[in-house]
Amino acid sequence: MYSFPLEPDETIIKKCLASYSCEGDVLNGALYLTDHRLVFVGYSLSIANKYMDEVLLTHIKTLGTEKTFFVIPNVLKVVTIKDKVIKFVVKGRNQWLAAINNQIDMVN
């Protein structure tokens, strides 16, 4: 159901169900970490309206954490080199943070 095209030399490192928030849009779907990028795939209103957003790992300016309702530690905050702010609610936030940072180190 949640799928996206992979580049020929690209491998999925990690994936999970996630919520996505950016510029007023909030969607449920799946978050993928590949060896080149972070990809969110979700659906808006119905399964016919697929939504995809991606950030190349080399385009991540800052990566941080936040809490839902100031209590639940489950938000990843990504700021791109163009200052686009994307928030993902994920299970295992700290493991995601470590995995993304590890891939960023490998790419740079």
Q: Give residue-wise pLDDT tens across range 6-43.
A: 999 999 999 999 999 988 888 999 999 999 999 999 97
Number of domains in the chain: 1
22 in any annotated domain: yes
16 in any annotated domain: yes
3 in any annotated domain: no
Which candidate, 88, 95, 38, places its Cα nearest to that of 68? 88
What CATH number has the domain bearing residue 68? Answer: 2.30.29.30
Which candidate, 74, 38, 44, 45, places its Cα nearest to that of 59? 38
Q: How confident is the model at residue 48 (pLDDT cuts 50, 70, 90)?
A: low
* 64: containing domain: 12-107
What are the pLDDT digits (tens) for 82-96?
A: 999 999 999 999 999
With beta carbons less than 8 A apart as the criterion, state whether 65 and 73 touch: yes
